[in-house]
Copies of this chain bind each other. A is one copy, B any other.
Amino acid sequence: MVRDDAKIIRLLKTAGGQIEGIVKMVEDGKYCIDISNQIMAAQAILGRVNKEVLNAHLHSCVLSSIENGSADEKMDEITALLDKLIK
């Protein structure tokens, strides 16, 4: 599985567009709760991008690293990642 860069960039641009929309909402004095909901929507899109990137990473970089004998180092990277993600 190769990283689907086109899809990732499309999602990133969607998130970027949402953030521009939020700037406009703030400038227009929109209601805080509506702004907050849009912020969480943008965070959720970034979460989807992150899943996409890491899914590709696990099935491509990590699997090929195994053939090179550097799997242990990759596991350290994933551990560091889980450390940030797990609450």
- Does B32 contact A56, Cβ atoms closer than 8 Å? yes
A23 to B7, CA, bound (A): 11
The contact of A87 among B13, B27, B47, B57, by CB within 8 Å, is: B47
Instruction: Give how many copies assemble into the complex.
Output: 4
- Give A12-41 interface residues, CB cut-off 8 Å to B: 12-13, 15-16, 19-20, 22-23, 26-27, 31-33, 35-36, 39-40
A-B contact pairs, 29 of them (CB 8 A): A5-B26, A5-B27, A9-B26, A9-B27, A12-B19, A12-B22, A12-B26, A16-B20, A16-B23, A32-B56, A32-B61, A33-B81, A36-B50, A36-B54, A36-B57, A39-B49, A39-B50, A42-B46, A43-B50, A46-B46, A50-B86, A54-B79, A54-B86, A55-B82, A62-B71, A66-B66, A66-B71, A78-B78, A87-B87
Interface secondary structure of A, over-half rule: helix
